[in-house]
Amino acid sequence: MSAGPSPRGLTPPRLSDALEGRRLVLALDRRAEELAAALTRHGAEILHAPAMSMIPHVDDPYLLARTADLIARAPEVLVATTGVGMRGWFEAADAAGVGPALRTSLAGTRVLARGPKARGAAQAVGLEVDWVADEGTSAEVIAHLRDLDLQGRRVAVQHHGSGADGLDAAVAAAGAHVVALTVYRWGPPRDPAAVHRSVLAAADGTVDAVLFTAAPGTENWLRAAERAGALPRLAARVRAGELLMAAVGPLTAAPLQARGLPALLPTRSRMGALVRAVVEHFDPAARVTQEAS
């Protein structure tokens, strides 16, 4: 666990001193440098302790074969579960030279998004989104699928990093043919020692906040705290208001809430909104007007 440099070694201009003297743990892998840069602009010291890693499958021949299948025969429904998955899928298609054909094939497909990140990514690659899950959960998507007539239809499901999460089974139970797309999966942390040090620091009072951006990372970090025997002390600090747990959205915060730990959530499930929430938590007079997507 160590303070990381800003992207490309550049020091971004300071926006405020709202987080001066504060040490924040980032328990995330993807976009960690971007989040760290935004927080250091308010004076924070950043400690990186990614509690999971993202293993891309963009070069997987199986993914490319499924993509070719969807180009040849478009699905009636596409379920987009994550922004990173949708972007990664189309990046893989573009790299293989079939991106334009994939976009053309999906032009008439009904797109269901499991939350705003998936919706934004789908729209960014040129798809129209017909429905979005309000709370960003697979359970909402499954409930919505039950209201659709899917008998004999082709439904493509872009899996999130932890797997199908019941979506494939729900589609099959509705009488549809499932085309599963695995773009990436969540793996173990690349530096378990950094995660271990971070949970001890959180329990011992040498950090002020821990930030999470994906539920698997939240769960892994808390399990590391349990293995280290640090969770009781850590939980006591959280409940006393001495340690902030901050999550990008309710799904990410679920492992915290399952253990009775309160979490700060931004008004929108966006990285920039998370920065704003953390800055204004420590300095209510601060105003952060810029938000990243």
Decide if 148 is inside a domain.
yes
Is the pTM higher than 0.85? The answer reads no
Q: What is the pLDDT of residue 288?
A: 65
Q: Which CATH number is 112's domain given?
A: 3.40.50.10090
Q: Is the dihedral of CA 226, 246, 24, 83 positive or negative?
A: positive
Decide if 293 is inside a domain.
no
Decide if 10 is inside a domain.
no
Question: How far apart are alpha carbons 159 and 175 in whole angstroms?
Answer: 19
**pLDDT (tens place) for every residue of the chain, 293 residues total:** 544 444 444 555 788 999 999 999 999 877 788 899 999 999 999 999 999 887 777 667 889 999 999 999 999 999 999 998 999 999 999 999 999 999 999 999 999 999 888 999 999 999 999 999 988 888 999 999 999 999 999 999 999 776 667 899 999 999 999 999 988 877 888 899 999 999 999 999 999 999 998 888 999 999 999 999 999 999 999 999 999 999 988 888 999 999 999 999 998 878 889 999 999 999 998 766 544 44
Question: How far apart are alpha carbons 12 and 4 in whole angstroms?
Answer: 13
Whether residue 196 sits in one domain with residue 180: no
Residue with tokens 């099959």: 172
Which structural domain range is residue 110 located in? 55-186
Indicate the residue among 171, 186, 201 that finishes a domain. Answer: 186
